[in-house]
């Protein structure tokens, strides 16, 4: 399955699963990152880090390090 790391820049996507430990999952949730919202990978290469923006709630951008980005499984949209 694709991760935020593997998809291309400017690709819109939905988060399907976060395969991370409790503390980082909690961090992502509290910062407004949830499954089923629509996001865009606004910056970052496949070597990380990446920047995503939640398009569903017009939130600010969140930068995520390579390690964690590779654990966020996504479904690319519009393909």
Partner 1 sequence: MNRTVALVGQPNSGKSTLFNVLSDIKTSTSNFSGTSVKVSECKINVYGETVKLIDLPGFYSLNYTDQAEKVTFDYIAKNKVDLIVNVVDAGLIARGLELTQELIETGIPMILALNMMDDAKAKGLEIDVKKLSEKLNIPVVPMTAIFGKGVRNLIDEIYKQFKSNSYNPNIFRYTAHIENCIHQIENNINTNNQIFSKRFFAIKTIENPTLIKEIEENIDITRFSDIVKSIELEHKIESFEAISYERHHIAMKLAEEVRKFVKKSHGPFSTKIDSYLLDPVFGYVSLLLFFGLMFFVIFFVGSYITSFTDPIIGNIIEAYQPLREVNIILFLTFDGLFQGIAGALGIVMPYFIPLILVGSFLEETGYIARAAFMLDNLFNKFGLNGKSVSAFLMGIGCNIPAIYATRILDSQKDRLISAILIPFIPCSARITVIFSLTAAFAGPIWAVVVFLFILLTIAINGKILSKFLKNPLGMVIEIPDLRLPSFKVTLGKTYFKLKDFVREAVPFLILGSIALSYIEYYQIAKILDTLMYPVLHYALDLPEKLGSTLIFGFLRKELILIMASQALGVNSISELPMTLNQIIVFIIFVSLYFPCVTTFFVLMKEFGYKVAFGSAALSVVVATVAAFLFRLYFEITNFIF
In the complex, the residues that contact partner 1 under the rule CB under 8 A are 22-32, 34-35, 37, 43-45, 47-49, 51, 54, 56-69
8 A C-beta contact, residue 19 and residue 4: no
CB of 35 to partner 1, least distance (A): 8
C-beta closer to partner 1: residue 59 or 77: 59
C-beta closer to partner 1: residue 8 or 31: 31
Q: Which of 35, 30, 72 is nearest to 51 (CA)?
A: 72
Residue at token pair 């999952």: 25
CB of 70 to partner 1, least distance (A): 9
C-beta closer to partner 1: residue 38 or 77: 38
Q: What percent of the chain is helix, strand and coil (3-state, nearest 5)?
A: 15, 35, 50
């Amino acid at each position: 399955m694709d991760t935020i790391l593997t998809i291309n820049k400017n690709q819109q996507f939905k988060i399907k699963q976060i395969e991370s430990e409790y503390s980082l999952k909690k961090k992502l949730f509290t910062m407004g990152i949830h499954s089923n919202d629509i996001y865009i990978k606004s910056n970052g290469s496949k070597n990380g880090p990446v920047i995503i923006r939640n398009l569903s709630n017009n939130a600010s951008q969140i930068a995520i390090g390579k390690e964690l980005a590779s654990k966020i499984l996504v479904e690319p949209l519009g393909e």
